[in-house]
Amino acid sequence: MAVLHPLNEQQRDAVLHVDGPLLVIAGAGTGKTLTLASRVAHLVLAGADPQRILLLTFSRRAAQEMTHRAGRLLHQALGLQGHQGAPLLPWAGTFHSVGARLLREAAPRIGLPPDFSVIDRPDAEDLMNWVRQAQGLAHTDGARFPLKGTCLSIYSRAVNSRVPLEELLDAHWPWCANHAPALRGLFRAYVAAKQDQHLLDYDDLLLAWHEMQQASPELAAELAGRFDHVLVDEYQDTNPLQAAILHALAPQGRGLTVVGDDAQSIYSFRAAEVRNILDFPQQFTPAARIVTLARNYRATQPLLAAANAVMALAPERFEKALWSDLAEGDKPRLVSVLNEAAQARWVADEVLRLREGGLKLKSQAVLFRTATHSAPLELELARRRIPFVKFGGLKFLEAAHVKDLLSVLRWAQNPSCRLAGFRLLTMLPDIGPIRARRLLDQRALEGCTLEEMAHAMSQLALPGPAREALLPLCSLLATLRTPGAPWPDDVALAVAWLQPHLERLHDDHVVRLLDLQQLQRLAPGFSSRERFLTELTLDPPEATSDEAGVPLIDEDYLILSTLHSAKGQEWASVTLLNMVDGCLPSDLSTGSPVQLEEERRLLYVGMTRARRHLQLIVPQRFHVTQQRALGDRHLYAGRTRFIPDALLPLFEPDGPAERARASEAEAEALKGPPTMPPIDLRARLRSAW
Ligand code: ATP
Ligand code: MG
C-alpha cells in the first residue's frame, strides 16, 4: 500500500493499528509526525470520513503541513497526479483553534454569546491591569502586588494545572503567597470583566470546551460522538486540562492516537505535564497499545551521538538512545567566538558559505533561547541583505497598528468589547481616556445602525470636534455590522478608516500601512471575518526581515527561531546561538533542578533539529545579567554546563581564527559596560536597510 511505502515495521504497526488507544513514544526524528500523517491518509483510504477525523497539533503551521502531507500520501496512493496539497482535513489545528470553532458552533446552546472574541496574551494583560487598577491593587499595605503579567501567569497556571491557588503560589511564586486572597478576588473580577465584554482568553477556550463536555449528558454524548478518530502530535507538551478534554472526546480512548517524546517536554512553564504521556498506558489499561521507535531518519550518527550524550547526563534517564543509518558526516562543531558581534558575523559568513555550497537559506536555521538574543544577528543579516523570517518572539500582531486594525474588526463583530472600543476611541482627536470611558459606559457605539449610534451620542454632551471625529467611525461600524457585510472587503474599509489616523499619529505611517496591506492580502485565505480574527489571534503570522511583509513563497530566506518554536521541525543546517551558562540554561532557571532539566531538554530539542550540519556557538564574552541575585551585575559566562569537558570529543572545535582576527580595539571596547541589545527590532531593522 502506497501510504505504507517508506515506513519501517514499527511505524506500519502504528499506522495500521485498529480501534483502541495508541501511544507512539519515541525520540526526535524517528518519524512520529510522518507516522501520524500516514495514519490519517490510511484512515481516509480505509473509508473514514475526513469530517470525523480530528488532528491536534502544536501550531497552525504544523496542522497545515501535516494535512498537506497526508493529502499528498493519499493522492499518491490513489494514483492521482498534480496534487497541490489541498487541505484534506477540515478539523486540523491547535487545541485552542479547534476549541474556538466548537464553542462558536455550540454557543447558543451553552449560554455563550455568539459574537464572543478571543483575546491574546497582551490584551489579556491589559484587561487584567484594568481590573487590578479598579480594585486598587497596585500596592497593598506597602507590599508590592504582583505585576499584571505575573497576575495573568498565575491565573493561567491555576486554570490549566487545576492546582489550588495557595499550593501553586507556594511552589512557584512564594513571594506572592500572602496575596492569595486578593489574587482570588482579582481573578473573580477578571472573569466577570471577560464575561461582560464577551471575551475569551486562551485559557477560557480550553476551560469552556471542557465545561461544555460536562454540561449536559446529551451535549457530552454529542461531542464525544463527533469524531471517530482523534490524533495528537507532541503529546508530551499537553496540560492536564487538554488531557481531560481528550478523555471526554474519545471515551475509553476509542480512536485516540497520541505521539510524543518525553525527552522533548519543554513547556512545563505553561503547565504542560509530561505525566500525561508517561501515564497514558496506565490510563487505558489494558487497552492501550504502545509503539516505540528507535531509528532516527533525520540526522547523521555523529550528530545523534552528541545529542544522546547530552541527554545521557540527565539525572532522569530517557530510555531511548537513537541510532541512524547515516554513519557518514561531520561532528557537530563547537564554535568559539569572541563576543556576540563576532557570533553574528560568523553565522552570516557560515550561512553564505553553505549557500555557496548549494544549501538554500530555507534549509538553514539559527535557533536561540530567548527572542531578543537574535538582535545582533538580525542587524548583521539586514546589513548584508540576507533575508530572514523569525519565528517566536516579536509577533507581527503585537505591532500597535496591526492591533488597531484588528480592534476595528473585533469591535464590529463584538460591540461589547470595551478593550477594542477603548483602543479605537482614544486614537481619535479630542477623545481622551475619560471621554472614551463615558462613551463606553453609555454603550454609545454599540448600535448596529448609524441612527442608533447618533441617538446614543446625542444623550452625551460632546464637543463638536469630538462628535465630528466619531462620525466616520460610527459610519464604518454601521457598515461592518450590517448583516452579511461583504468579507473580505471589510478589511479594506477598516484600513481606509485607519489610514488618516496613522498618518496623524506616526512618523513611520508608510511602513505601518504596508503591514496593514499585508493583512489585507491574507484576509481572503479565511472563510469569514470571525475565522480571520480568531485564527490570527491564536496563531499570528511571523515577524520578517522584509517590511513589505512575509517573503513570497518561492523566495529564499533564512529561518530564525526560538528553540521553543523550532519544535517538530528540521533543517539541513542548524546553528545554536549563545551556548553559554546563564543563557542556556537561562539564569532564571538555574535555581530549580526541575527547571534546569527542562533547559537540558531544550538543548536536546535544538540539537535534534539538524539533519547534516550542527553548529553550537560559544561567545567567550557573553554577558549575563544576574538581576535578582547580584543586583544587576554583569557576569561573563562560560560554555553551557550541559556540555562538560567529558563530552568534548564528540564535538569539533572551531572558530580560533575569529579570535585571532579580533582587533585590539575590539578587545578594548569590551572593557566598557556591555550594551543591551535593542528592544525595538523593527525600528532598528528599518534604519539598517
Ligand atoms: P520530532 O520528535 O522532532 O518531532 P518526529 O519523530 O516527528 O521528530 P519526523 O519529523 O516525522 O520525526 O521525521 C523525521 C524525518 O525522517 C523526516 O524527514 C521524515 O520524512 C523522515 N522519515 C521518517 N520515517 C522515515 C522512513 N521510514 N523512511 C524514510 N524517511 C523517514
Ligand atoms: Mg514530530
pLDDT tens-digit map of 45-85 = 999 999 999 999 988 778 888 888 888 888 887 776 555 54
The pLDDT assigned to 310 comes to 94
Binding region for ATP: 26-33
CA–centroid distance, 297 to ligand 1, in Å, is 6
Catalogue the E-assigned strands of 348-499.
Answer: 364-368, 388-395
Q: pLDDT value at position 656?
A: 53
Is residue 260 in contact with ligand 1, taking CB distance under 6 Å? no
Provide the residues around ligand 2 (an ion) whose CB is within 5 A: 32-33, 568
Per CATH, domain 398-538 is 1.20.950: no
Instruction: Name the band, by pLDDT with cuts 50, 70 and 90, for residue 629.
Output: very low
Residue nearest to atom 2 of ligand 1 (CA): 28
* Residue 633: pLDDT over 50: no
Annotated binding site, which residues? 26-33
**Measured between alpha carbons, how far is 255 from 358 in angstroms, rounded to an integer?**
44
Q: How far apart are CA 620 and CA 344, in angstroms?
A: 13
Is the CB of 8 inside a 6 Å radius of any atom of ligand 1?
Answer: yes
- Percent of the chain residues topping a pLDDT of 90: 45
Q: Name the band, by pLDDT with cuts 50, 70 and 90, for residue 523.
A: confident
Ligand 1 atom closest to Cα of 7? 27
Mutate to test the pocket of ligand 1, among 12, 15, 34, 57 (most ligand atoms within 8 A of CB): 34
| Separation of CA 33 and ligand 1 centre (Å) | 7
Please give the C-alpha separations between residue 357 and each of 353, 435, 484, 657, in angstroms, as whole numbers.
6, 62, 54, 21
Query: Which pLDDT band holds residue 194 (cuts at 50, 70, 90)?
Result: very high
* Cα of 642 from ligand 2 centre, angstroms: 24
CATH 3.40.50.970 fits 301-387+556-688, yes or no: no
Q: How far away, in angstroms, is 298 Cα from ligand 2 center? A: 11
Whether the per-residue pLDDT at 553 is higher than 50: the answer is no
pLDDT value for 658: 46
Find all residues with CB under 8 Å of 551, minimum gap 6, and list them.
387, 389, 544, 557
Atom of ligand 1 nearest to the CA of 605: 3
Half-sphere exposure for 67 (CA within 13 Å, toward CB): 21
The reported pLDDT for the residue numbered 679 is 33
Whose C-alpha lies nearest to ligand 1, atom 14? Answer: 29
In one-letter notation, the amino acid at residue 122 is: P
| Residues 6 or more apart in contact with residue 647 via CB below 8 angstroms | 306, 309, 310, 313
CA of 568 to the centre of ligand 2 (A): 4
Is the sign of the CA dihedral 496, 500, 505, 509 positive or negative?
A: positive
Kindly identify the ligand whose nearest atom is closest to the C-alpha of 30. 1
Give the pLDDT confidence of 486-497 residue by residue, as tens digits.
Answer: 888 999 999 999
* pLDDT value, residue 461: 81
* Per-residue confidence (pLDDT) for residue 542, from 0 to 100: 55
Residue 680's pLDDT band (cuts 50, 70, 90)? very low
> What is the per-residue pLDDT for 657?
46
Going from the Cα of 610 to the center of ligand 2, the distance in angstroms, rounded, reads 13
Is there an atom of ligand 1 within 6 Å of 297 CB?
A: yes
Please state, in angstroms and rounded to a whole number, the distance separating the CA atoms of residues 390 and 518: 17
Q: Is 7 in the pocket of ligand 1 (CB under 6 A)?
A: yes
Report the separation in Å between the CA atom of 68 and the middle of ligand 2, taken as the mean of its atom positions.
15
Which ligand is located closest to the Cα atom of residue 609? Answer: 1
Determine which residue's CA is closest to atom 9 belonging to ligand 1. 31
Q: Which ligand gives the minimal distance to the CA of 574?
A: 1
Q: Which residue has the higher pLDDT, 88 or 648?
A: 648
Does residue 180 carry a pLDDT above 80?
Answer: yes
User: Ligand 1: does its nearest atom lie under 6 Å from the Cβ of 31?
Assistant: yes
- Going from the C-alpha of 638 to that of each of 281, 581, 591, 619, 634, the distances in angstroms are 42, 6, 18, 8, 13
The size of the chain, in residues, is 689
Residue 614 has pLDDT above 70, yes or no: yes
pLDDT tier at 686, thresholds 50, 70, 90: very low
pLDDT digits 0-9 by tens, 348-382 = 999 999 999 999 999 999 999 988 788 889 888 88
Count of CB atoms situated within 10 Å of the CB of 510: 11
CA-proximal residue: ligand 1, atom 31 (nearest) = 297
Secondary structure of residue 559 in the 3-state scheme: strand
pLDDT, average across residues 395-403: 74
| Of residues 539, 530, 566, 542, the one with CA closest to residue 121 | 539
Q: How confident is the model at residue 687 (pLDDT cuts 50, 70, 90)?
A: very low
Torsion from C-alpha of 164, 165, 170, 171, nearest 10 degrees:
60
Distance 371 CA to ligand 2 centre (A): 22
Decide whether any atom of ligand 1 lies within 6 Å of the 302 Cβ. Answer: no
Q: Is the pLDDT score of 329 beyond 80?
A: yes
The arithmetic mean of pLDDT across residues 192-221, rounded, is 91
Give the pLDDT band of residue 572 (cuts 50, 70, 90): very high
602 C-alpha to center of ligand 1: Å?
19
Nearest ligand 1 atom, CA 296 = 16
Which atom of ligand 1 is closest in space to residue 34's alpha carbon?
11
- What is the per-residue DSSP string for 360-394? -GGGEEEEESSGGGGHHHHHHHHHTT--EEEEEEE
Give the CATH class of 2-99+204-293: alpha beta
In three-state secondary structure terms, 571 is strand
The residue nearest atom 15 of ligand 1, judged by CA position, is 298
Nearest CA to ligand 1 atom 29: 6
Detail the DSSP E strand segments found in 215-355.
229-232, 256-260, 289-293, 333-337
Reduced to 3 states (helix: H, G, I; strand: E, B; else coil), residue 617 is strand
Confidence of residue 143 (pLDDT cuts 50, 70, 90): low
Is 29 near ligand 1, meaning CB less than 6 Å away?
A: yes
